[in-house]
Every structure is written in C-alpha cells, then in structure tokens.
Amino acid sequence: MRRIPGNESSVGASESDQKRTPTAAMEYRSRKERLLAAFEQAAAAGREVRLRKSTSNLFRNRASGLDRNLDVRDFDHVIEINTDEGWADVEGMTPYEAAVDVLLPHGFVPAVVPELKSITVGGAISGGGIESSSFRYGFVHETVIEMEILTGSGECILCRPDNEHRALFFGFPCSYGSLGYCLRARIRIVPTKPFVHLQHRRYTEIDPFFRDIERLCRENLADGAPVAFIDGSVFSPQELFLTTGEWADHAPRVSDYSGMNIYHRSIRENGKDWLTARGYLWRWDADWFWCSRAFGAENRFVRRLYHHLGMLRSTTYWKIKSIVQRSGLLRLLGKERNTEYVIQDVEIPVTRAPEFLRFMFDEVGLLPIWICPAASPDPSARFSLYPTDPNELYINFGFWGGVRSDHSPGYYDRLIESKVSALAGNKSLYSTSYFDRKTFDELYNGPAYRELKERYDPDHRFLDRYEKCVRGR
C-alpha cells in the first residue's frame, strides 16, 4: 500500500486509522481540542455558533455584524494520500486549489474538482459541488468515503455510509452548515495524465444537443470509453457547444487561459484544444466563467493589469463584488434600478432539459448558460436532503448575471424556482431563494432534516437551514 503523508503541518483525522505519524496525530488532536474549546465557550454563553473562515462562495444576502465565533481557518491541510486505494484525507476548509496542488505531483486529483479555486472541500460537500467529471462520479458529496463532523452537541463524529451515523452521512449534503461542520473528509481521487485534449462541437438546435449529451454520458459509463469530461456552453439559441475532454500523455500545443487568453471565447473559436491538467481544472477560474466582464477583465488593458498584479482569478472578483455590495455603490449610481441579479445553479432531469432551456430563452433571456451533466455512481445511495434521484441523469444549468426587469423584486428567481419544481428538478441554495417554509420543507425533505437536527443539534447551536438559506440570517 502506498501511503503519502501531507506537508509538515498535515495531520491525521480518523480514529479508525492508526497508521499516522505521532506528530501528525498530535497536531490534529491539538487543533480539534482548540476548536471544541471554542465551541464550548460559545455554547456556554448561549450564542449561536458561526464560522470564521477565509473564503466564501455564497451569493445570498446575509445579516451583517454577526459574531463569527468559531475559527476554522487552520483546518486547511491535505492530510494523507493513498494512491493504491484511491483516496485522500483532506480537512474541510482546504480550498480545492490547495488540494490539487498537493495531489497533482503524485499524478492524482479529486474525482470531482469544482470549477473555482477558492471553493472548499467542506463547503462543496455541505452545499453541493459539480464539474465536468460529474457524469461519471456524481456530485462532490457522492465522492466522499467518510467524514468527521463537528455537531451542534459539541461532539466530533466520524460518519460513514455503513456506521451508526449513516443518517448524518447521507443528510449532511444540502445542510449548509446547519447540522455541523466538516473537519475532515476522505474523498475519492483518480489518476491523471499530463494533458487534456478538448473538442468543442457546435449545435444549432436544442434537442440534438441534449440527445448527444445523454448518449455520450451513457456510452462512456457503459463501455469505459476514453471521454473523461463532458460539459457545455450556450451562447445563443443557435450556438450550443458540447465540450468533451480526454486525458492525454502528449499535446501538439498547449493553450493557457490563466492570463491574457479567455477560455469561454476559445470555445467558439477552436474546434480542438489542449490544456495541461491543472490548466483544464481551472479553465473557468480566471474569468469566473464569463462574469469577469462585469469587472472590466475582458478589456485588454485592464486584463493585463490584473494579470501583472496576480489578480486574474475568481477571488479577486468576489472581493470587489463584496466591497461594492457592502458600500451600496451600485444603488447610489442607479445601476441596480430595473435590474434583477439572477445567480443560480439548478439540476433538471435530462429528459426535461430541452424544455427548461427553451423556458430560459423565452422567459428569462439570461446568457451565456453553463451546462454540466451529473449521474450518481451508486444508484442505491439516497442523500436525504439533496433531492435528486440516483437513477437519473441530471443536467446542471448555471446562469449568473443581471436581467432587465420592470417586475417586482425577485420576479425571475421566483419564476425559475417554480419551473424547476414543475420539472422535478433541484435548485442549489447558495444564492437567493424565495420559498415559503411549507414549500421549502416539501422540496428539501423538512421531516428528515428535523430528525437530524434534533439528534445532532438538539440545542440549536447552529442556525436553522431555512433561516440561513432563505431568510438570510
């Protein structure tokens, strides 16, 4: 068995795995003890427990001035890599960028790597994560083997799909930190090659586009064909691009989209392309998909400045957005007048995907749209709070931008919520939601959530999921 420890500050995490160095085990124990002491202090004071962390990828409005009394920022280590068994132990606050940087030199990456560098492992598990390998490996939470979770009762619990805490294992995704926080996850990793060969195929009609996506997903799962990545980009009703990627040992040329070149433009310009493995995983990050245009990053002079300062990355735009939002600058300049910002990811069964895309064209008009298929690797696995059918192939639609509107605030978000529900789809909760509590409970399994809440957070130290995800507390 080939076991590779993490860096010098990496730590062991599972009580069931004793093959750790004493130093690593001691460091991890020390971190846990400090965290549990901070939790007890907050609980003794009768306060709600909230995280203090370095990054966030939430787009819903949240109450300001809250006491972030649980500092988890140092839970950001890759603990151990087991290449023989295909897993890695990673702490919950580890950004995927850091995880990839540790794993790639060993020829491995997480089975699903969300598209933005700052997304953390724990955040992707509790809130949902997806990427172009999801047609094979499912959502991020479906690549998890076990988790250590700090619960509202002040315990650090190891949960697996086959132990006494299996209900928490299957209930943690879509809990958004309302049941506990992931301190460590054992995640599935897969071998890589140095390069990824891309092919971009253009479609001018909706139905053939989705038929081919479904066919490619089914064929590559059934026959073990070489396609490793499948996603798509919709720029107009006549410009639908299906992108496939294959691992490659060699490349005749290599494109770089971390600097002056822009990946989403290349989709329309290049039928074939080659990227390094790392370049492929972060192909969207430098431009936050296509949202960087709102920050001037598609202007060559501004882009060159961002690049020179090392700021050509999604975290830069996130910081600028947060500053502008807190300052109320857009409101003062009148930029928010008659504009509704629609920032959403939704999953729709593939058979209903053409209908949803036509709805987006006809009723919303927000472009471009990212397309990403996802299928569960285990049809028997049921995640109680994540309302997807493990026997279904889903299409994720990602759309982020402003829509001109003379309607009441939230008109388009509500319209989208209604359509997603009508098509037996699922809406992620990282952004603004308008569900009433009864509808929310029906869609996101309120009874199962309350059972988990009562068992693992009986004193309600963590905020209720509805209060957090819909009411923005």
Q: What's the pLDDT at 27?
A: 78
- What is the mean predicted confidence (pLDDT) over 50-62? 58
Q: Report CA 421 to chain centroid distance, whole Å.
A: 21
Q: Is the pLDDT of residue 457 over 60?
A: yes
Q: In 3D, which of 170, 182, 183 has the Cα closest to residue 451?
A: 170
Q: How confident is the model at residue 25 (pLDDT cuts 50, 70, 90)?
A: low
Q: How confident is the model at residue 15 (pLDDT cuts 50, 70, 90)?
A: very low
DSSP string, 50-78: -EE-S-----S---SS----EE-TT---E
Query: Percentage of the chain surpassing pLDDT 90?
Result: 71
Query: 82 in helix, strand or coil?
Result: strand
Q: Is the pLDDT of residue 65 over 50?
A: no
Q: How confident is the model at residue 319 (pLDDT cuts 50, 70, 90)?
A: confident
Contact of 372 with 396, CB cutoff 8 Å:
yes
Q: What's the pLDDT at 5?
A: 59
Contact of 225 with 249, CB cutoff 8 Å:
no
Q: Is the pLDDT of residue 471 over 50?
A: yes
Q: What is the pLDDT of residues 383-431, one digit of tens each?
A: 999 989 999 999 999 999 999 998 998 999 999 999 999 999 999 999 8
Question: Who has greater pLDDT, 197 or 74?
Answer: 197
Q: What's the pLDDT at 333?
A: 45
Q: Which residues are bridge partners to 232 per DSSP?
A: 242, 371
Q: What's the pLDDT at 337?
A: 65
Q: What's the pLDDT at 18?
A: 34
Q: What's the pLDDT at 52?
A: 59
Residues 6+ apart with CB under 8 A from 158: 14, 15, 16, 146, 147, 148, 165
Q: What's the pLDDT at 14?
A: 38
CA distance 12 to 22: 9
Contact of 339 with 363, CB cutoff 8 Å:
no
Q: Which amino acid is at 377?
A: P
Q: Lowest mean pLDDT of 44-58, 85-99, 193-207, name the range.
A: 44-58
Q: What's the pLDDT at 17?
A: 37
Average pLDDT, the chain: 88
Domains and CATH numbers, the chain: 3-191 (3.30.465.10)
Q: Is the pLDDT of residue 181 over 80?
A: yes
Q: Is the pLDDT of residue 301 over 90?
A: yes
274-289 in b/e burial notation, b at 16+ Cβ within 10 A?
Answer: bbbbbbbbbbbbbbbb
Q: Is the pLDDT of residue 8 over 70?
A: no
Q: What's the pLDDT at 370?
A: 98
Residue with tokens 């990828």: 57
Query: Percentage of the chain surpassing pLDDT 70?
Result: 86
Q: Is the pLDDT of residue 13 over 90?
A: no
Q: What's the pLDDT at 253?
A: 96
Tokens of 385: 């709070």
Q: What's the pLDDT at 323?
A: 81
Chain length of the chain: 473
Q: What's the pLDDT at 118?
A: 92
CA-based end-to-end distance of the chain: 47
Q: What's the pLDDT at 142?
A: 97
Q: How confident is the model at residue 12 (pLDDT cuts 50, 70, 90)?
A: very low
Contact of 171 with 60, CB cutoff 8 Å:
no
Q: What is the pLDDT of residues 71-123, one digit of tens each?
A: 888 888 888 899 999 999 999 999 999 999 999 999 999 999 999 999 999 99
Q: How confident is the model at residue 472 (pLDDT cuts 50, 70, 90)?
A: confident
Q: Which amino acid is at 441?
A: D
The pTM score is: 0.90
- Count Cα atoms within 13 angstroms, Cβ side, for 85: 13
Q: What's the pLDDT at 461?
A: 87
